[in-house]
């Protein structure tokens, strides 16, 4: 990729393993759950990246590792060319201003005993303890306006707000420190459809206005379509495909991406009626015991011997996008 600017974030061969106790009472064993199994990508400043995958694919672990909340087992995260996990606690704390997160459950991520104004002001109080009260209030009100909340709601409590409004508070809290990268971990999954679109549009506007780098995590491809310039599809701790949205939505190259596309129901009865083909996806194997070689091979109709032997690496196929499949250039995904 010939980006003129150097990447703001570089994730290199990231592995995160969690020890899990298994076995019976007298034969305790510790197995490693491989939540991330060699993930690499980079992001340009001001870019928006969508990360999509089903439960257990490692997308939330990746978010935590990028924010420095999770120590990697191997590999590293370079934030503006500096390895995030080797920083001293003080430096890391400084960097936290630049790295913010928006959570999935907007109501649960707000302290019910704090007023909206206090919630949004808290990061400022933490990082700038000497900031004047008046100045804080001014910043908070400005931020509330920016996320579409009336500043006179300052003294309300979260329970007085709807889910969509709570998510706006979460966004305001994340943006008040002027971060450079915001990770949104399924920010709209628990919201109604009509409100989802509001929040996505808001994030999209703010990203442009503030030239933020934005990571938008979701479990289905339809939600990230509008906001992500590039989309990364993950499965069992690995990246299956990483491509600009123009490519991934018109011509998915990985069998798993194609499955994810087909699985999304289309709100058009005619289209759905014609989707009568028998399609089985198979169950996702346990991340404690992932298949050898390509982790998707147990669910892939095109899997051959080589898929069990070698782990496919992300490679370029003509376009800008990259795909981790040995046979991506041979198979016809429409054939299924």
Partner 1 sequence: MPKPRTMAKPGKILLEVEQLEVLFKTRDGVVRAVNKLDFSMVSGETLAIVGESGSGKSQTALAIMKLLAANGKARGSAKFYGRNLLEMTATEINEVRGEHIAMIFQDPTSSLNPYMTIEEQMLEILVRHRQMSRKDARLRALEMLTQVDIPDPERRIRQYPHEYSGGMQQRVLIAMGLLCQPELLIADEPTTALDVTVQDQIKRLMRELKEKSNTSILLITHDLGVVAGLADKVLVMYAGQLVECAPVDEIFYRPRHPYTAALLKAVPRLDHVGDYDMHPIPGNPPNLLNLPTGCPFRTRCAEAFDACHEMPVVREVTPGHSLRCHLDGGALK
* Tokens describing residue 35: 């939540």
Interaction of residue 163 with partner 1, rule CB under 8 A: yes
d(CA 5, CA 25): 55
Is the CB of 36 or the CB of 57 nearer to partner 1?
Answer: 57
Question: Which of residues 94, 138, 205, 272 is near partner 1 by CB under 8 A?
Answer: 272
Site for partner 1 in 282-301 (CB under 8 A): 283-284
CB of 283 to partner 1, least distance (A): 5
For partner 1, the closer of residues 72 and 106 by Cβ is 106
Nearer to partner 1, 129 or 267 (CB): 267
205 binds partner 1 (CB under 8 A): no
Stretch in the footprint of partner 1 (CB under 8 A) among 119-127, 207-215, 273-281, 300-308: 273-281
Q: Which of 222, 291, 302, 319 binds partner 1 (CB under 8 A)?
A: 222
Beta bridge partners of 232: 51, 242
The residue from 60, 165, 207, 257 that contacts partner 1 (CB under 8 A) is 165
10 binds partner 1 (CB under 8 A): no
Distance of CA 112 to the CA centre of its chain: 26
Binding part of the chain for partner 1, among 25-33, 42-50, 128-136, 270-278 by CB under 8 A, reads 270-278
Q: Which is nearer to partner 1, 79 or 185 (CB)?
A: 185
Cβ atoms of residues 102 and 170 within 8 Å: yes
Q: How far is the CB of 268 from partner 1 (least distance, A)?
A: 6
| Binders in 249-268 for partner 1, by CB under 8 A | 249-250, 259-268
Using DSSP's 3-state secondary structure scheme, residue 180 falls into: coil
Of 220, 293, 319, 320, which one interacts with partner 1 (CB under 8 A)?
Answer: 220
Q: Which of 198, 302, 317, 320 binds partner 1 (CB under 8 A)?
A: 198
Q: Decide if 144 contacts 154 (C-beta within 8 A).
A: yes
Interacting residues of 267 by C-beta distance below 8 A, sequence separation 6+: none
Q: Locate tokens 């966004």: which residue?
A: 171
Helices (H), 225-311: 245-250, 255-263, 269-274, 305-309
Choosing from 126, 135, 162, 292, the residue that interacts with partner 1 (CB under 8 A) is 162
Q: Does 153 bind partner 1 (CB under 8 A)?
A: no
Compute the least distance from the CB of residue 139 to partner 1, in Å: 25
Contact of 154 with 125, CB cutoff 8 Å: no
Q: Is 194 in the site for partner 1 (CB under 8 A)?
A: yes
221 interacts with partner 1 by CB under 8 A: yes
Q: Are 52 and 36 in contact (CB under 8 A)?
A: no
Shortest approach of partner 1 to residue 281 CB, angstroms?
A: 4
Q: Which is nearer to partner 1, 31 or 196 (CB)?
A: 196
Residue 313: Cβ within 10 Å count: 13
Exposed/middle/buried for residue 196 (C-beta within 10 Å: 0-12, 13-18, 19+): middle
Closest distance between partner 1 and the C-beta of residue 263, in Å?
Answer: 4
| 49: CB partners within 8 A, 6+ apart | 41, 43, 213, 214, 215, 216, 228, 229, 230, 231, 232
Q: Is 193 in the site for partner 1 (CB under 8 A)?
A: yes
Exposure string over 198-223, b if 16+ CB within 10 A, otherwise e: bbbebbbebbeeeebbbbbbbbebeb
Nearest partner of 173 among 114, 213, 92, 93, judged by Cα: 114
Site residues for partner 1, 49-68, by CB under 8 A, read: 54-55
Query: Which residues contribute to the site for partner 1 (CB under 8 A)?
Result: 54-55, 162-165, 192-198, 200-201, 219-223, 225-226, 245-246, 249-250, 259-276, 278-281, 283-284
């Amino acid at each position: 990729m010939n980006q003129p600017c150097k990447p703001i974030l570089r994730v290199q061969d990231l592995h995160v393993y969690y020890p899990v106790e298994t076995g019976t009472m007298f034969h305790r064993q510790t197995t490693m759950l491989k939540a991330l199994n060699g993930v690499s990508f980079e992001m340009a400043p001001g870019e928006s990246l969508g990360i999509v995958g089903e439960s257990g694919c490692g997308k939330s672990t990746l978010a935590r590792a990028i924010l420095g909340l999770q120590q990697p087992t191997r590999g590293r995260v370079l934030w503006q060319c500096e390895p995030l996990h080797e920083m001293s606690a003080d430096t890391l704390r400084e960097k936290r201003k630049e790295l913010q997160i928006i959570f999935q459950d907007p109501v649960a991520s707000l302290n019910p005993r704090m007023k909206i104004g206090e919630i949004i002001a808290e990061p400022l109080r933490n990082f700038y303890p000497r900031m004047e009260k008046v100045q804080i209030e001014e910043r908070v009100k400005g931020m509330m306006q920016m996320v579409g909340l009336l500043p006179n709601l300052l003294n309300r409590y979260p329970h007085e707000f709807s889910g969509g409004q709570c998510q706006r508070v979460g966004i305001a809290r994340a943006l008040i420190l002027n971060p450079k990268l915001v990770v949104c971990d399924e920010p709209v999954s628990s919201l109604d459809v009509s409100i989802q679109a509001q929040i996505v549009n808001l994030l999209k506007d703010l990203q442009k206005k503030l030239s933020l780098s934005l990571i938008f995590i979701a479990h289905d491809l339809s939600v990230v379509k509008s906001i992500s310039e590039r989309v990364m599809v993950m499965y069992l701790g690995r990246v299956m495909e990483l491509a600009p949205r123009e490519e991934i939505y018109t011509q998915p190259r990985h069998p798993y991406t194609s499955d994810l596309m087909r699985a999304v129901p289309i709100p058009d009865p005619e289209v759905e009626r014609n989707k009568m083909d028998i399609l089985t996806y198979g169950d996702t194997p346990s991340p404690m015991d992932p298949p050898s070689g390509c982790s998707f091979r147990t669910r892939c109709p095109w899997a051959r011997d080589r898929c069990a032997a070698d782990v496919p690496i992300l490679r370029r196929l003509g376009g800008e996008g990259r795909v981790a499949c040995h046979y991506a250039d041979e198979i016809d995904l429409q054939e299924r």
